[in-house]
Amino acid sequence: MRGNKRTTPIALTAIGWRGAGPLAMSEAAATRLAKHSLVIAGHRTSISLEDAFWQSLRAIAAARGVSLAGLVVEIDAGRGDANLSSAIRVFVLRAAQDAQKSSPTRTGAAHAFTCSNLA
In 41-81 the beta strands, taken as DSSP E runs, fall at 43-50
Confidence of residue 104 (pLDDT cuts 50, 70, 90): low
Per-residue pLDDT averaged across 12-18, rounded?
Answer: 42
Taking alpha carbons only, the member of 59, 48, 66 closest to residue 16 is 59
Q: How many domains does the chain have?
A: 1
Helix H or strand E segment including 76: helix 68-77
pLDDT tens digits, one per residue of 23-71: 455 777 777 888 889 888 888 999 999 999 999 999 999 989 999 999 9
Flag whether 29 is in a domain: no
Say which CATH number the domain at 11 has.
1.10.3990
Helix, strand, or coil (residue 114): coil
Q: Which domain holds residue 15?
A: 2-20+34-117
